[in-house]
Amino acid sequence: MLNVKYQVEKTILKQMIHYLRKNPEENLSNILKLVRKVDTKSYYTEIYDVLEELLSEEDNNWIQLMSRLATEVNPHILETVFTNFLLNSSIKGWEELEKNRKKYGHDIPFTILIDPTTACNKKCIGCWAADYNKALNLSCDELDDLFTQGKDLGIYFYIMTGGEPLVRKKDILRLAEKHNDCVFMMFTNGTLIDDALCEDFCRLGNIVPTISVEGFDDATDGRRGEGSWKDIMRAMDVMKRHRVPFGFSTCFTNQNSESVLSDAFIDLMIDKGAYFSWYFTFMPIGCGTDTSLMATPDQREQLYRTIREWRGEKAIFNMDFWHDAEYVGGCVAGGRRYCHINANGDVEPCVFCHYSNANIKEVSLIEALGQPLFMEYQKNQPFNCNQFRPCPILDNSPKIAEMVKNAGAKSTEYIQPEDVEELAAKTKEYGEIWAQRAEPLWAENIQQKAAREAAKQKVK
């Protein structure tokens, strides 16, 4: 649990946010210095160094983003999310995680991705959730117990997906209010976001929505159904009006790559009020899935290059779930930094890996985190020295088959279980083709980092 210095540090953070809102451009550097002091164990020194370098440049896109957050976001949400994520989750929570890793002899995740329900008001093409029984749910009591167990281990950041999590919005609001020391992010199609819900978001302060979008209207409606784009635009407008911070997520396929990597698209998302993005490469999960949706090597390289280019230009925090693996030491699944719990209670290594040895309805969270499949993951991570090839399913498919077999894990696909050998066979050739592109790309990346470091040393 949080230590005795918590209230003092929370007061310091509150004052920091006040300074940030008063004059973000002038006070950002001073605030970073205070954050370093709060992080007494220096868990994030490298991150602070990068931020310090960025803030030294006059009026760049990162300063613009921080200024947007400071001046545009509802003050209560800004203070609550900042405190819960930075202090509770990233600093004090990390200290608890480290203690418990040593105590139990295996990793404890920084965050857990949870499906409160499989129910959804959409049926998107290629979505694995469409293959699940729509009546599966984790009860409010089960979710409450899960968050309580998680906090005892040091986990204060929870992500919700589904299904459509806002089908359970009453329960989610009640739980967010009870666990007001946590941050809850949710992936949602946006259809159920309205003025009343935004007022609840502002009142609670610890829920951050992430809207799923596939590109412009033709791409989004083509995959998510007619009218989806209009619903998304309306939801974003409502949240912006209420000063609710949100991001967007997109499933990167060979059908929408041109759309979601265009300047016109990212500029529109910024204009609508998005502060961050998640780009996920399409995964061919589930029996009968359309493997033709997988991005080509050309498209995947373009994803990598475009996201990194935007980071030097656009006032939004863009995350590339695959090619950012180098910043976290490879794959983060299997409890290393995150895991997934589906609406049936199965504790899975990843939202894309539907195999498990444990169910949260039958064992405690710490027992589930020590299951054989998670131990296989942690024993094998990273799955590749080239961290543009991080995934044991998409990029190194023999690994997933090996680990599932060694662990004796079962398929958690509810309607039509998928044999792990069949899954591995679907992505084996893809991984080999991508490797031919990823190897020179990784070598180029290493050379660029070495050149930047040499330039820094020369300046010193």
The pLDDT of residue 252 is 92
CA distance 396 to 130: 26
The bridge status of strand 355-356 relative to strand 410-411 is antiparallel
State yes or no: pLDDT of 2 exceeds 60. no
Q: How many CB atoms lie under 10 A from the CB of residue 295?
A: 22
Which spans in 205-296 are helix H?
217-224, 228-242, 257-260, 263-272
State yes or no: pLDDT of 114 exceeds 60. yes
State percent of the chain over pLDDT 70.
91
| Residue 265 contacts residue 303 (beta carbons within 8 Å) | no
The pLDDT of residue 3 is 58
Q: How many CB atoms lie under 10 A from the CB of residue 92?
A: 24
The pLDDT of residue 248 is 97
Q: Considering only residues 132 and 396, tell me which one the structure prediction assigns the higher pLDDT.
A: 396
In the block, residue with structure tokens 């729509």:
134
The pLDDT of residue 1 is 46
In angstroms, how far apart are the furthest CA atoms of the chain?
A: 62
Per-residue pLDDT tens digits for 15-73? 777 767 777 766 677 777 777 777 767 766 767 776 777 677 777 898 889 889 989 99
| Residue 71 contacts residue 24 (beta carbons within 8 Å) | yes
DSSP label of 248: E
Per-residue pLDDT tens digits for 192-202? 999 999 999 99
CA distance 78 to 71: 10
Q: Which two tokens stand for residue 247?
A: 């991001």
Q: Which of 221, 163, 214 has the alpha carbon at shortest distance from 192?
A: 163
Per-residue pLDDT tens digits for 348-357? 999 999 999 9
Per-residue pLDDT tens digits for 270-329? 999 999 999 999 999 888 788 889 999 999 999 999 999 999 899 999 999 999 999 899
Per-residue pLDDT tens digits for 204-224? 999 999 999 988 988 787 777
| Cβ-based burial of 294 (10 A; exposed 0-12, middle 13-18, buried ≥19) | buried
